[in-house]
Structure 1
Amino acid sequence: MTNRHILPLLTLSALPVSLCAQSRPNIVLFLVDDMGWQETSVPFWIERTPLNDRYRTPNMERLAQMGVKFTNAYACAVSSPSRCSLMSGMNAARHRVTNWTLSYDKQTDSKSKVINVPDWNYNGIQPANADAHDSKNATRITPLPQVLHDNGYYTIHCGKAHFAAEGTAGEDPLRMGFDVNIAGAANGAPASYLAENEYGSGPFHVKGLEKYYGTGVFLTEALTREALAAMQKPIAEKQPFFLYMSHYAIHVPYDADPRFTGNYRQADGQGVFDNQLQAHLSEPEINHAALVEGMDKSLGDILDFLQTQPEVAQNTIILFTSDNGGQAIWPRQGRRNIDQNWPAHAGKGSAYEGGIHEPMIAYVPGQTEGGTVNDNRIIIEDFYPTILDMAGIKQTQVIQHIDGVSFADLLKKPRKHRARTLIWHYPNIWTDGVKIEDGYGAYSAIMHGDYHLIYFWETQEYHLFNIRTDIGEQHNLAASHPRLARKLAKRLTRLLKSSNAQRPTLKATGQPVPWPDEAYSTFLNSLS
Structure 2
Amino acid sequence: MMNKLSFILIVLFSLACNSKETHLSKPNIVLILADDLGYGEVGYNGQEIIQTPQIDQLAAEGKIFTNFYTAAPVCAPARCMLLTGLHSGHAYIRGNDEWRERGEVWDYAKAANDPNLEGQRPLPSGTLTIAKILQQNGYQTGIVGKWGLGAPLSEGIPTNLGFDYFYGYNCQRQAHNLYPPHLWENETKILLNNQLVVPSTKLDSLADPMDPSSYKRFQQTDYAPDLMHEKALAFIENNKDQPFFLYYASPLPHLPLQVPSENMEDYQKVIGDEQYYDGSKGYFPNRYPRATYAAMISLLDKQVGEIRAKLEDLGLSENTLIIVTSDNGPTYTGGVDFDYFKSSDPFSNGYGRTKGFVYEGGIRVPMLVNWPGKIKSGTVTDHVSALYDLLPTICELIGAKIPVDTDGKSFLSTLLGKRQEPHKYLYWEFPEYGGQQAVRMGKWKAVRQNLKEGKIQTELFDLEADPKELHDLASQFPEIVSKMEEIMKKEHSPSSIERFRLEALGD
**Could you say which TM-score interval applies, normalised by the shorter chain?**
0.7 to 0.9
Structure-2 separation of matches of 1:175 and 1:380:
22
Instruction: Tell me the secondary structure at the aligned position of residue 175 of structure 2.
Output: coil
Q: How does 1:182-331 map to 2 (within 5 A)?
A: 182-188=167-173, 190-194=175-179, 199-200=180-181, 210=191, 216=221, 218-235=223-240, 238-266=241-269, 270-271=273-274, 283-310=288-315, 312-331=316-335
CA distance in structure 2 between the partners assigned to 1:469 and 1:299 by the alignment = 34
Deviation at 1:23, TM superposition (A): 5.0
Counterpart-to-counterpart distance in 1, 2:482 and 2:427: 16
Uncovered stretches (5+) of structure 1, i.e. residues with no partner: 1-17, 111-121, 129-140, 273-280, 430-440, 517-528
Q: Secondary structure at the match of 1:92?
A: coil
Partner of 2:407: 403
Task: Give the Å deviation of 1:370.
Answer: 0.8
Which of 125, 128, 133 aligns to 1:127? It is: 125
Question: Can you list the C-alpha shifts for 1:121-160, whole angstroms capped at 9, x where unaligned?
Answer: x7242221xxxxxxxxxxxx11221221122111111010
Q: Percent identity?
A: 26
1:259 Cα deviation after fit? 3.2
Instruction: Please tell me the residue identity of whatever aligns with 1:377.
Output: V
- For the pair 1:53 / 2:44, whether they are aligned, the reply is no
Kindly tell me the number of residue pairs found equivalent between the two proteins.
Answer: 430
User: C-alpha separation between the residues in 1 aligned to 2:25 and 2:343?
Assistant: 44
Map 1:10-49 → 2, pairs under 5 A: 22=24, 24-43=26-45, 48=46
User: Are 1:340 and 1:347, in contact at CA under 8 Å, matched by a contact in 2?
Assistant: no
Change (3 A) 1:344 1:470: same
**1:512, distance to aligned residue in structure 2 (A):** 3.4
**Does the 8 Å CA contact 1:327/1:348 hold for their aligned counterparts?**
yes
Residue of structure 2 equivalent to 1:512: 503
Alignment match of 1:91 (pick from 87, 96, 101)? 87
Task: Indicate how the Cα distance of structure 1 residues 90 and 417 shifts in structure 2: closer, same or farther if over 3 A, else same.
Answer: closer
**Structure 1 CA distance, aligned partners of 2:378 and 2:428?**
30
Give the AA of the match of 1:174: T
CA distance in 1, matches of 2:39, 2:256: 20
The letter for the 1-side match of 2:41 is: E
Is the Cα–Cα contact under 8 Å of residues 84 and 124 in structure 1 kept in the other structure?
no
Q: CA deviation at 1:165?
A: 4.2
Distance between the aligned counterparts of 1:180 and 1:245, measured in 2?
Answer: 12
Q: 1:209 to 1:247 in 2, by over 3 A?
A: farther
Query: 2:69 matched to which residue of 1?
Result: 74
Q: 1:19 to 1:259 in 2, by over 3 A?
A: farther
Measured at CA, do residues 286 and 187 of structure 1 come closer, stay the same or move farther in structure 2, by a change above 3 Å?
Answer: same
- TM-aligned CA deviation for residue 271 of structure 1: 4.8
Whichever residue aligns with residue 159 of structure 1, its letter is G
Which of 432, 436, 448 is the matching residue for 1:443? 436
Alignment-mate amino acid for residue 244 of structure 2: F
Residue in structure 1 matching 2:373, options 366, 376, 381: 366
**Preserved CA contact (<8 Å) 2:330 2:355:** yes
Verify the 8 A CA contact 2:428 2:437 in the aligned structure 1. Answer: yes
Conserved? CA contact 2:325–2:365, under 8 Å: yes
TM-score (norm 1): 0.74
Match of 1:355 in 2: 362
Given the alignment of the two structures, is residue 455 of structure 1 paired with residue 448 of structure 2, yes or no? yes
Structure 2 counterpart SS, 1:93: coil
Q: How does 1:1-16 map to 2 (within 5 A)?
A: none
Q: CA shift at 1:289, angstroms?
A: 0.9
Change (3 A) 1:107 1:159: same
Task: Specify whether residues 409 and 59 from structure 1 end up closer, same or farther in structure 2 by C-alpha distance, changes over 3 A only.
Answer: same
- Cα distance in 2, alignment partners of residues 415 and 60 from structure 1: 26
Q: Which amino acid aligns with 1:168?
A: S
Pair 514,228 (structure 1): closer, same or farther in 2 beyond 3 Å: closer
What CA distance in whole angstroms lies between the structure 2 residues aligned with 1:364 and 1:343?
A: 28
Structure 1 counterpart of 2:428: 424
The residue matched to 2:40 in structure 1 has which SS?
Answer: coil
Which of 1 and 2 has greater Rg?
2
RMSD of the alignment, in Å? 3.4
Q: Distance in 2 between matches of 1:344 and 1:425?
A: 20
Q: Give the conservation status (yes or no) of the 8 Å contact 2:183–2:190.
A: no
Deviation at 1:218, TM superposition (A): 3.1
| CA displacement, residues 474-498 of structure 1 (integer Å, 9 cap, x when unaligned) | 11112333332222112221222xx
Question: Aligned partners of 1:19, 1:461: CA distance in 2, in Å?
Answer: 56
Q: Aligned partners of 1:384 and 1:107: how far apart in 2?
A: 35
Q: Which residue of 1 aligns with 2:10?
A: none
Once the two structures are superposed, residues 431-465 of structure 1 have per-residue CA deviations (whole angstroms, 9 ceiling, x without a partner) of: xxxxxxxxxx3111111111111122122222211
Check 1:340–1:423 CA distance in 2 against 1; reply closer, same or farther (3 A cut).
Answer: same
Greater helix share, 1 or 2? 2
Query: Could you tell me how far 1:351 is from its partner in structure 2?
Result: 1.3
Shift of 1:408: 0.9
Residue identity matched to 1:324: N
User: In the superposition, relative to structure 1, how do residues 269 and 495 fare at CA in structure 2: closer, same or farther (>3 Å)?
Assistant: closer
1:89 to partner: Cα distance: 0.9
The CA deviation at 1:344 is 1.2
**Closer, same or farther: CA 374–256 of 1 in aligned 2, 3 Å:** same
What amino acid does structure 1 have at the position aligned with 2:125?
Answer: P
Q: 1:212 to 1:153 in 2, by over 3 A?
A: farther
SS of 1:324's partner is coil
Could you tell me which residue of structure 1 aligns to residue 485 of structure 2? 489
